[in-house]
């Protein structure tokens, strides 16, 4: 039995379900802020009205127990104060929920540039093939890019090298080879998928190999060099390469990179000193 062809929002939902990196939505930041402001203003009005009612209810003797008894306030023949409390309670519940939701929304990150470009290209191709646009238009257009949020980012907690592989190497591989591999293509969404875990594992192994080769080749080269100038230049070059590798292949802070570079240089100097003392 053949899989039915999806179109429009059905196909878009299939894409987002298959590729979490495509879960890109509008934040509606301005509209959410306006909603909070309106709720705040509405509650402020109710608060002022309630304070006025409390002052008025404090004058009659039959309402003197209101500050001490909620039951008397509720069962009063004129329960206007309690009705205003209920009105405030309803608004506060809505306001507090909206406030917490806005807090969570503001913590969501913007979509990665590459993911957004791929997503927009998919939308454009889908609309071109069907000669119909997603309505309403411009939901994911450039004018709304600053208002977009991503529910998932495959680049989170990854180093610059892994990110480069995702955005450049995988794209190049797809153009050269991957597009011919129909096994990678998802029938429903019409796109090719590459395993994120495999990509991260590959970049991790490559980083380990490089981190092992740098000190080893440095020691070998310095062992055979006799000219002091050549030795200093070699140490300088290897230190620069080491710092670049640390910055690109390791998710480390600047102070950690500085400390590692200093230690690497110290090891080289120690090896040179030991070599001279033995000669």
Tell me, what's the pLDDT at 100?
A: 97
Which residues, listed in sequence order, are joined to residue 26 by a DSSP beta bridge? 148
Residue 277 has pLDDT above 80, yes or no: no
273-278, Cβ contacts within 8 angstroms, sequence gap of 24 or more: 275/222, 275/223
Whole-angstrom distance, CA of residue 33 vs CA of residue 113: 25
253 against 201, higher pLDDT: 201
Tell me, what's the pLDDT at 93?
A: 97
Over the stretch 16-50, which tens digit does the pLDDT of each residue have?
888 888 899 999 999 999 999 999 999 999 999 98
CB 214 within 8 A of CB 241: yes
Whole-angstrom distance, CA of residue 123 vs CA of residue 57: 62
Residue 1 has pLDDT above 50, yes or no: no
The DSSP 8-state label assigned to residue 4 in this structure reads P
Tell me, what's the pLDDT at 27?
A: 94
Residue 215 has pLDDT above 70, yes or no: yes
Cut 0.85: pTM above it: no
Give the residue extent of every domain in the chain. 17-26+109-153, 28-107, 157-278
Cβ count within 10 A of residue 205 = 10
Tell me, what's the pLDDT at 4?
A: 53
Sorted by sequence, the CB contacts under 8 Å of residue 223 that are 6+ apart come out as: 271, 275
Question: Comparing 115-129, 149-163, 167-181, which segment has the lowest mean pLDDT?
Answer: 167-181
The DSSP 8-state label assigned to residue 109 in this structure reads P
Q: What is the CA radius of gyration of the chain?
A: 32
Sorted by sequence, the CB contacts under 8 Å of residue 58 that are 6+ apart come out as: 64, 66, 67
Over the stretch 184-193, which tens digit does the pLDDT of each residue have?
677 667 777 7
Across 33-47, 197-211, 241-255, the highest mean pLDDT is recorded for 33-47
For the segment 76-93, the average pLDDT, to the nearest whole number, is 87
Backbone φ/ψ region at 126: left (φ over 0), alpha (ψ -120 to 50), beta: alpha
What are the Cα distances from residue 12, in Å, to 15, 119, 154, 183, 248? 5, 10, 19, 20, 34
3-state SS, 211-260, equals HHHHHHHHHHHHHHCCCHHHHHHHHHHHHHHHHHHHHHHCCCCHHHHHHH
Tell me, what's the pLDDT at 62?
A: 66
What are the Cα distances from residue 24, in Å, to 137, 256, 272? 15, 34, 55
């Amino acid at each position: 039995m053949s899989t039915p062809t999806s179109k429009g929002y059905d196909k878009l939902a299939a894409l987002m379900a298959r590729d979490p990196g495509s879960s890109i939505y509008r934040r509606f930041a301005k509209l959410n802020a306006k909603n909070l402001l309106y709720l705040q203003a509405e509650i402020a009005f109710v608060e002022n009205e309630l304070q006025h009612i409390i002052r008025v209810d404090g004058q009659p003797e039959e309402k003197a127990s209101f500050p001490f008894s909620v039951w008397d306030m509720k069962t009063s023949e004129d329960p206007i104060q309690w009705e205003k409390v209920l009105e405030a309670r309803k608004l506060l519940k809505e306001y507090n929920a909206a406030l917490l939701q806005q807090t969570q929304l503001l913590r969501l990150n913007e979509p990665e540039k590459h993911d957004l470009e791929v997503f927009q290209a998919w939308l454009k191709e889908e609309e071109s093939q069907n000669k119909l646009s997603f309505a309403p238009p411009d939901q994911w257009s450039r004018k709304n890019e600053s208002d977009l949020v991503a529910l998932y980012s495959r680049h989170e907690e990854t180093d610059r090298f892994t990110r480069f592989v995702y955005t450049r190497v995988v794209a190049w591989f797809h153009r050269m080879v991957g597009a011919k591999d129909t096994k990678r293509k998802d029938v429903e969404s019409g796109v090719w998928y590459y395993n994120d875990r495999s990509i991260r594992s590959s970049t991790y192994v490559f980083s380990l190999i490089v981190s092992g080769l740098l000190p080893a080749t440095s020691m070998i080269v310095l062992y055979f060099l006799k000219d002091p100038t050549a030795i200093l230049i070699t140490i300088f070059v290897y230190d620069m390469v080491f710092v670049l590798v640390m910055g690109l292949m390791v998710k480390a802070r600047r102070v950690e990179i500085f400390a590692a570079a200093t230690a690497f240089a110290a090891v080289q100097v120690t090896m040179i000193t030991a070599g001279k003392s033995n000669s």
